[in-house]
Structure 1
Amino acid sequence: MQYSVLGTTGVKVSKICLGTATFGVAPTAQDADRIVGAAIDLGINFVDTADVYGNMPVFDRPGAPAAADREPAEQILGRTLRGRRDRMVIATKSNGIVGLDINDRGLSRRHVIRQVETSLRRLETDYIDLYYAHDPDPDTPMEQTLAAYDDLIRQGKIRYVGLSNHPAWQVTHALWIADDRRQQAPVAAQVKYNLIDRSAERELGPACDRFGLSIIPYAPLHGGLLADLRVLDREVSGDQRFQGSGFSESEIATAREVERLSRAWGLAPYQTSLAWLLSRPAVASAIVGAETVDELHANATAADVELEPAQLASLTALADQPPAFQHRAGDGPERPPATTSSDPTA
């Protein structure tokens, strides 16, 4: 396993990060312990979760327990890490809907502190290594959220903070605020990023590279399409795992070309796709949501693959020009933050 430094923290994380979004579904709660144990044996020391992972109806699929009968992924993960917690860099998040009350989501000080306490109990730990704002919250000023994070860092409950699914202008704004108020600044940005979906390269990538944040891509294999075309024969694949749609013809065409090139180079498509992604500027680690131990073993091999410049260029040429970053549909319109003294345009 190869490692990268997480932002400016000095903390080294494995280039393959274990994702837990479907813990309790695939793998089942019973199989999760084997997956986590295999990850540790492979040298993976970075795991990603969230307060909404695992037991939401959006993760339902045929043959799996119903959402009401599943534990939160954090709780499953906490149990699997008993006796080996210090070997893992744990990242979790908040902002998703976690209850029926109007305030059971968001990035307000009230909600953030409550969810950190909940995550600590579920994870059976007294600190969280990396804590993300899961999505932008247009109703809460960034200043309030960052102040809450800074207090939690001073209390020892979290070590570092990151931003997930935030466009470049919001990442930059957060850095302005932190610098102006002498607070702990975000060290990482989590975003969907892979050979097919390269929208992160338009603005977020250059911003992170310039300011020293690590990019932590999720969906690095585009729902499995860039791993193996046999995923098309699965009953559930891609965004269907989260009640989304299937793959487009253009996406499948790109995946076929990745497979053709990979075979010519003596590699598997998942190795080629992950190695390309890990070569991109600012990318520190790719989140792999392996559903079986075999998938995890296979994906972990990509961390040791180094592609030649000509190979990287061939892969980069496959994708269309990266579109402008668009926030995930369904989360409501974004609004610019309130003008504050930390905004240099004020």
Structure 2
Amino acid sequence: MNGISALINRPQRDPSPLLPGVANERAWRGAALLCPHSLTASGAPPPWRVGGARGSPLRRRRLHAPDLPRPPRASSGSPARPATVLGTMEMGRRMDAPTSAAAVRSFLERGHTELDTAFMYSDGQSESILGGLGLGLGGGDCRVKIATKANPWEGRSLKPDSLRSQLETSLKRLQCPQVDLFYLHAPDHDTPVEETLRACHQLHQEGKFVELGLSNYAAWEVAEICTLCRSNGWILPTVYQGMYNATTRQVETELFPCLRHFGLRFYAYNPLAGGLLTGKYKYEDKDRKQPVGRFFGNSWAEVYRNRFWKEHHFEAIGLVEKALGAAYGPSAPSMTSAALRWMYHHSQLQGAPGDAVILGMSSLEQLEQNLAATEEGSLEPAVVQAFDQAWHLVAHECPNYFR
């Protein structure tokens, strides 16, 4: 026994695939309530399993789990807090299988339930690691939700054959009969969109996914897609995943009104601008040798540097750091904490319609720090004002949210 399988197989007294070494019965029973069918070695459904064929969209039912941890709720009278989704792009790249398993466990223990991956992440290793965790993904009685994406890059397309091939490969890697959310990762400008949407509808009818999502599409393309789907009776997209953070707000102008009109919820990626909003980088770092990270030493590094590595961006961060010091003194929150608190309390995200923030990470420690920040309260008005000033400083060179 080695690798991820060693983390999943447990002694009978502790059957949870998620909480290795945890003796607290309530903890592993909480995990059982997330994915009850994954906890029986014999294959027989446990007594609390929800009825219905595994993977059948028509039999999906919400579990009532009083012992399951819940994410923090907004105080009475406050707007609902956006949800939190775990981004898994670094699993299989900077995070090995055991570290990835620990990250998923930490995420679920805080009461969050949505995981986000893609066909292309770490050349498929992200999906394979998640599939090996024994979560029972895609089952009608599993409260952990999984999203993946098909893309038009590196010789692939969003033509029907490629779309089907990518989704079916993802299902094999994830070891599940269906995904809860299937995204078109970006537009395929060489394939008629009707062709792609018709193929998506067919895959949905076959029960291979529950919800359709869009990512990196322009607002006019979203409107076109929703109109085409309505007129043809095809499955409508219900989620849009896009780039959004305190200093990257292009989506607010046209995309957000479009999404509200057509009823799509918004999931924000790059909430820390690829890590730039942590404040740990200096503009001059680009001219010096740096350790491997989002901006250096990987195939996506140049993309992220072109997206965020601008002198004005660093000036904007300095402006916010100065405001944090003035408002909080020696007990000032970190730049990371402030940027995430802006997302949850001061951005245009709305918890009521189901908007969410996608938290990525390159280590377990980083994830736990970021999760802690998401549970903190709102910022002092002077800091919120500083973030607005920072945005105005960089707005003229904001990267496009569409591709």
Paired residue for 1:337? none
Structure with larger RCO (C-alpha < 8 A, sep 6+): 1
CA contact under 8 A between 1:24 and 1:76: conserved in structure 2?
yes
SS of equivalent residue, structure 1 residue 305 = coil
Cα distance, 1:230 vs structure 2: 5.6
Provide closer, same or farther for how the CA distance between residues 278 and 93 of structure 1 changes in structure 2, counting only shifts above 3 A.
Answer: same
CA deviation map 1:273-328 (0-9, x unaligned): 12222343345212121111211111112333342583434422321274587366
Asked if 1:179 is matched to 2:230, the reply is yes
Is the Cα–Cα contact under 8 Å of residues 220 and 287 in structure 1 kept in the other structure? yes
Aligned: 1:286 with 2:357: yes
Distance 2:247 2:294 in 1: 13
2:237 counterpart SS class: coil
Match of 1:301 among 369, 372, 391: 372
CA drift at 1:16 = 2.1
Kindly tell me: are residues 26 and 319 of structure 1, through their superposed partners in 2, closer, same or farther at Cα, counting changes over 3 Å? same
Equivalent of 2:321 in 236, 245, 259: 259
Which structure 1 residue ranges, 5 or more long, are not aligned? 5-11, 56-70, 99-103, 332-346
Identity of aligned residues (%): 28
Cα distance in 1, alignment partners of residues 293 and 73 from structure 2: 29
Cα distance change on mapping 1:33 and 1:13 into 2, 3 Å:
farther
Q: d(CA) in 1 for partners of 2:239 and 2:250?
A: 17
CA distance in 2, matches of 1:164, 1:288: 16
In 1, the alpha carbon distance for the partners of 2:399 and 2:220 equals: 11
**Partner Cα separation in structure 2 for residue 207 and residue 3 of structure 1:** 28
Deviations 1:37-77 (A, max 9, x none): 1111122211111101113xxxxxxxxxxxxxxx5211111
Q: Is the Cα contact below 8 Å between 1:194 and 1:219 reproduced in 2?
A: yes
Structure 1 distance, partners of 2:200, 2:73, is: 26
- Report the Cα offset of residue 259 of structure 1: 2.8
Range that drifts further, 175-184 or 126-135:
175-184
Find the structure with the greater CA-based Rg: 2
The count of residues paired between Structure 1 and Structure 2 equals 302
**Partner secondary structure for residue 146 of structure 1:** helix
Determine whether 1:277 maps to 2:343. Answer: yes
Instruction: Please list every run of 5 or more consecutive structure 2 residues that lacks an aligned counterpart in the other structure.
Output: 1-70, 75-79
2:116 to 37, 48, 51: 48
Counterpart mapping for 1:1-346 below 5 A: 1-2=71-72, 15-55=83-123, 72-83=125-136, 86-97=142-153, 104-229=155-280, 235-240=291-296, 241=298, 242-244=300-302, 246=305, 247-263=309-325, 264-265=327-328, 266-279=332-345, 280-282=347-349, 284-307=355-378, 310=381, 311-320=383-392, 322=395, 326=400
Distance across 2 between alignment mates of 1:258 and 1:124: 44
Instruction: Give the superposition deviation at 1:15.
Output: 2.1
Q: Is the 8 A contact 1:109 1:148 kept in 2?
A: yes
TM score, norm. by length of structure 2: 0.68
1:90–1:129: 8 Å Cα contact kept in structure 2? yes
Distance 1:13 1:198 in 2: 19
Give the TM-score of the pair, scaled to structure 1. Answer: 0.78
- Shift of the 48–277 alpha-carbon distance from structure 1 to 2, 3 Å rule, reads same
